[in-house]
Structures are given as C-alpha cells and as structure tokens.
Amino acid sequence: MVAHVGDFGLARFDSQSRTNNSSTITVKGIVGYSAPEYGLGMAASKEGDIYSFGIVLIELMTAKSPIDTMFEGDLDLHKYAQLGLLSDELMNIIDPRLLNNCGSPRNDIKIIECIGSVMEMGVKCSAESPQNRMRIEDAISELKKTRDIWLKELRIMDRYA
C-alpha cells in the first residue's frame, strides 16, 4: 500500500525550431492529468504537478479514469468527485472494492471517512486555479494522518477477525 508516482507525463518538452532568434517550448502532458492552465500556454509548474497528483488521488478512490467516456461536456473527474463530496453521495462514487472485508459497520464508517478525506485532498489539489490548490506539504501531512487512521482501523479489524 505504498504508491510511488514516477511521471505524470509533464516532463516531456518539445523544443520547436528557432526562428528569428526566439524559441518556443511547449509542455506536453497526458490528457486528463494536465492542469487546465497548460491548455492556455502556461509554463510547467509545481502547481501543475499538484493538479495531476490530485487527479490521481481521485482516480484511486473512484476507479474512474479522467478520460472515461462518462466525462463529457463540463463534467470531469474533479467535478465528479466534488459533486459527490458536496451532495453526500460519496458511497455512490467510490470504488466499492475499497470496502471489501471491512468487517463491522463501525469499520465501514471509519474507512469511508478516510476515503472521503483522500477524495477531499484530491479535489483541493486539482482545483482549477493554481492559486487555490492545496500545497503539496499540506497534502502529504493530511495523507499521513489518514494513513495512520486507516492502519489503526485495520489493526482493530484484525484483532476481532
């Protein structure tokens, strides 16, 4: 249960030919994971990487790809998760496999709280505006707290199994 993310695809740069003593560098990313500002020609940034990280968190909790066919028009993975959190529909959007073998209803509630916390971090990290995104230091701190709660629940479940 230790994930290691090596590349969101944003590390690829395409240097175009020089004309009139100027050069243009464009960022190429993976559709669905690239921050919205990259579509406006903004330079790669740590905020863009945080956006991608947030999308991955949401994808892990929902088992939905950001390029799933259900995401058409204005609906995207970020908005899907945000709507689920705001409307208390978390149970309808999370991957049901995350709840396998939870044991008791008490454990379900704690695990669902942890999943909701990760989803909330994903939504905060993938905010449309770079200035509104969660700082990665804060996301890591919150993820560690959530991990500790989840592991505590798993130990309690093992004691009663």
Q: Give me the domains of the chain, ranges plus CATH numbers.
A: 46-160 (1.10.510.10)
CB 146 within 8 A of CB 114: yes
The H or E element spanning position 14 is strand 12-15
Kindly report, residue by residue over 39-83, the tens digit of the pLDDT.
888 888 899 999 999 999 999 999 999 999 999 889 999 999 999
Q: Report the distance separating Cα 28 and Cα 13, nearest Å.
A: 6
End-to-end CA distance of the chain: 21
For residue 28 the two structure tokens come to 């190429």
3-state secondary structure of 26: strand
Q: Using alpha carbons only, how large is the chain's radius of gyration in Å?
A: 18
**For residue 161, is pLDDT > 80?**
no
